[in-house]
Structure 1
Amino acid sequence: ADVGNQWVAPTNAFYAKNMPVPKRDVAKAKALLQAAGVSNPSFTLMTPTTSDAQKIAQVVQSMVREAGFDVKIQSTEFATSLNMADKGDFEAYVLAWSGRADPDGNIFSFDGCKQPLDYAGYCKQEVDDLLNRSRTTLDPAERKKIYGELAAIVLKDRPIVYLFHRHWLWAYTNKLSGLRTIPDGLVRVQGL
Structure 2
Amino acid sequence: MASAFGFWFCNAATPMNPSLHQDAELAYGAGQLNPIKALDPGLVYDASEKDYVQMLCDEGYNASTIRLITGDNSSCSGDSTRSASDLNYASMALYAKPNEQVRGKFSRTVTNVGDANSTYEAVIKTDPNIKVSLTPKVLSFKRRYEKQQFIVKVSGGPLVLNSLASATVTWSDGKHSVRSPISIFTDFTV
TM over 0.5: no
- Provide TM-score, normalisation by structure 1: 0.28
Compare CA radii of gyration and give the structure with the larger one.
Answer: 1
Larger strand proportion of the pair = 2
- Provide TM-score, normalisation by structure 2: 0.29
Larger helix proportion of the pair = 1
